[in-house]
Chains A and B, each alone.
Chain A
């Protein structure tokens, strides 16, 4: 009995930092609709700034003062980021801010490394709270009790601010209807900035209060991200009490998981998330999204049409040039362009979902990695030849997309995105922790192409044919009646259904199709690298694809492909420099600000303005 109580207390203590970070994310999302990927970075900044301040400020007043001061400083950094990076892109297409926040992650990672160095920092113990209290014989650290006590206080303060003050009324009004708040004469820009300050300050507080139980290190930002997203989604996006409930639920369950299922700690969290969302699709205390809020904002999309003869000739010429790479380029050029082509197909498959279907999937890596693992497992356990494995990879990925699609398509908008993320993470954690079959972190190795395809140039041609074929197939589907139905379902579900389109089924098929195409890319990937590891399934890989699609331009057919080629090319070049993350992050932010329609969209506008393409379009 004593142990169970002690375990619950441990869970409650763990919930506190998680709640603070998650409530900040939830708040920012609720008001500004920005899914702030960089939220983990503000948590990390909180830890580093907190540990530095605690070194300087003396005693217990200094300790608690340092925590408060950290919140303010991190909040101010958040304000700078909001004003410099996010404000210019609020008008950009939906979720484009996401790419900007990804740039912020990269910049903060390198800046923290520059300022604080590489070594981990252990947090100081809380003055006066170093010892333990015995509760029914079990030792419970005093600081745990302080954390447990502190959290409801923070939660209450937030609740009071939101429900009982004028600022809170405005914030809630902005959550409901941004335009109306603007029409009433409230300066939305500063409201957003204020909310961003508060959200980031909370993340910073979270980083600082956990110091006595941990410290500051350079991997903190990504490490907390998955749990924070899980908490926000289980609780219901935008709901503070929900975030508290979910943080407690996840943390307490985790403590019992450690004792009774020690090998499955990662899987557990995502199983809970998927289970909760199956029963309560909008989270424990979340509300259904108001329809239309995430529809297509910004200027109307232009109709897509088959490319004209000039464009076709250019593409053929380009492909011919590409085909000459193995002849004239170095062997490495073949390897690099093989990589880029595979990535482009992966991005194009996500773009098909996202651009045409309006289905923002945050877990597309599940199908890329899924296809790769299907091929790798077949080779490892059944000695399947490469040719067959390449065929079965998309089938496996497509099948898993059928299942995941069935689960996720019950939701829309951001909830759909989050559920896809949860499914992908579930798959990732399974692969990671089921080491006996998947090799776990050691991955599966020695999966090389058949002898005939083994040289880089032959494999390059194989990849070129398959990936270009895949991209053309995706494009073909966009021009087929199926593609039109998909876009109809995206733009107006009700009207589409009135014309007899079964929108859910169309979206489901599209989801499976995009999954299968990602599986093709995954299959090619595994043979080009000779190995596969769980990180091909994880959040970072899904984000890569998302960023590329947004960067390229959602509202253009070639967005995914161009973005993929651009980012992979730039990355290959930049990683040679010492502070490449800083450079890449700044570059992404610059692209986001200068080209809010994505690269392709902006180029198209530019050429329109110069009168180059208008003629072609009109004829």
Chain B
């Protein structure tokens, strides 16, 4: 009896797997999009809407290679193992021609490894870890967003312009935080050798003990604080730091802190005068950036977040590369990615053949409060191409491809 039911269980599992088979319609170009729609809903939803906006525009204009573009959205629960399974399914069963997605770097790295092994194209849209294109770079993985290194280098450039000499850092204790601190230290020390790092704080991601962290920062008496925390950790740090006055009279640099995703939940308590990277959607005077913002507002009755523009540019990149390849074959797409130029709201970006990193940049500015909400002021757009290590350094970091 036991074995019989064991069998029933296995069979029903198998039957379920087969029953879900969708009819394979070959009249669209399918893209497999894997993300953490539930676990990181606040970031994934605007991103998805950005993709859908671009796809709508592309298909209205006749699609790609005469066919409509279609994204298949799947939720991986933020679990890399699950993402790998879904990636296989999208490629082998759903007929996706390539993969994209992920916000978390570890999921991005897992899919990148799968892509190299199985020869699937993967465009890492959001995951920021430098390893995706450098230490663990491979022939089949490409990355859209400016990496941790690039954004940290942009802030280091601004930090070098200040009088601050003694720096304290606070970053979540995992790969993204560590990369962000290492890159900042490296680039800042190169620009200003006399700087000194007086303390490093490493709260566990989303488990910050903000009061204790603020006390530890204050104890080191730094001139400047380099802050890599985000999300709820950032909110708690801002709250405790503000109450205890740790930011007063100090230069504060915040990686990603200017993104609407992180700034908006703070409301009128958003920090003022921090040097940050972010996305000032409310402040574009004209041009492609404003067009995107207006189109997005019209489509969703909501303003875009940084995730929205990343989603939009992801879909644009994919449409462009397939059009250039003239085919949906993996090797053709891969070849077409070499020094591919894509026209985006942020200008023309290039997917470098050297390391498959796009030159998408970031907006750097200062935070301020306007009408009870945090905004970026005095911002400029920095081209990502200017903030990468030299080609030789990149070659040394990246495994040599064939």
Contact = CB atoms under 8 A, between A and B. Distances in A.
A569 B113 contact: no
B13 A218 contact: no
Nearest to A445: B113
A265 B45 contact: no
B13 A340 contact: yes
Nearest to B17: A336
Contacts of B88: 331-332, 335, 456
Contacts of B131: 442
B269 A603 contact: no
A321 B355 CA distance: 46
Interface string A577-619: 0001100000000000000000110011001000001001100
Given A259-B215, A443-B109, A531-B110, A219 B38 contact: no
B2 A558 contact: yes
Given A113-B38, A132-B245, A566-B9, A255 B212 contact: yes
Contacts of B1: 307, 311, 604, 607, 613, 616-617
A502 interface: no
A566 B39 CA distance: 23
Contacts of B7: 314-315, 317-318
B136 interface: yes
Contact of B232 (A215, A266, A531, A552): A215
A130 B265 contact: no
Q: Which has the most chain A C-beta neighbours within 10 Å: B13, B17, B39, B235?
A: B13
B387 to A, nearest CB: 22
Given A219-B232, A258-B212, 17 more contacts: A13-B211, A122-B265, A132-B245, A138-B215, A258-B203, A266-B173, A311-B4, A318-B11, A330-B21, A333-B14, A435-B174, A440-B174, A441-B174, A443-B106, A533-B80, A561-B9, A607-B1
B227 interface: no
B41 A118 contact: yes
B372 interface: no
B57 interface: no
B206 A562 contact: no
A6 B231 contact: no
Contact of A570 (B2, B10, B16, B105): B16
B71 to A, nearest CB: 14
Contacts of A139: 243-245
Given A14-B209, A132-B245, A442-B105, A219 B113 contact: no
Give the 10 A-B residue pairs with the shortest CB-CB distance, closest first.
A569-B13, A118-B41, A441-B174, A562-B9, A318-B7, A442-B175, A558-B6, A258-B212, A565-B9, A255-B212
Interface size range of chain B in the complex: 35 or more
A535 B202 CA distance: 19
Given A442-B129, A573-B16, A223 B207 contact: yes
24 contacts: A10-B211, A120-B42, A132-B244, A139-B244, A143-B243, A254-B209, A258-B216, A262-B202, A311-B3, A311-B4, A318-B11, A329-B14, A331-B92, A335-B85, A337-B14, A440-B175, A442-B175, A446-B113, A565-B9, A569-B13, A576-B74, A580-B75, A599-B9, A617-B1
Interface residues of A, number: 108
Contacts of B10: 318, 322, 340, 344, 561, 565
A139 B214 CA distance: 11
Given A10-B211, A435-B178, A263 B6 contact: no
B323 to A, nearest CB: 28
Contacts of A439: 175
A218 B206 CA distance: 11
B70 interface: no
Given A566-B9, A604-B1, A141 B213 contact: no
B243 A141 contact: yes
Interface in B154-191: 173-176, 178
Interface in A530-581: 530-531, 533, 535-536, 552, 556-558, 561-566, 568-570, 572-573, 575-576, 580-581
A355 to B, nearest CB: 11
B204 interface: yes
Q: Which has the most chain A C-beta neighbours within 10 Å: B17, B39, B178, B213?
A: B17
Contacts of B8: 562, 603
B250 to A, nearest CB: 15
B256 to A, nearest CB: 14
A535 B110 CA distance: 13
Contacts of A138: 215
A120 B42 CA distance: 7
B81 A525 contact: yes
Q: Which has the most chain A C-beta neighbours within 10 Å: B2, B16, B112, B116?
A: B2
A377 B397 CA distance: 21
Contact of A258 (B42, B201, B206, B240): B201
A335 B92 CA distance: 10
A339 B81 CA distance: 10
Nearest to A307: B3
Given A218-B41, A259-B216, A335 B109 contact: no
A315 B3 contact: yes
B26 interface: no
B270 to A, nearest CB: 10
B20 A573 contact: yes
Contact of B6 (A125, A265, A441, A561): A561
Contact of B3 (A121, A143, A312, A580): A312
A10 B80 contact: no
A258 B209 contact: yes
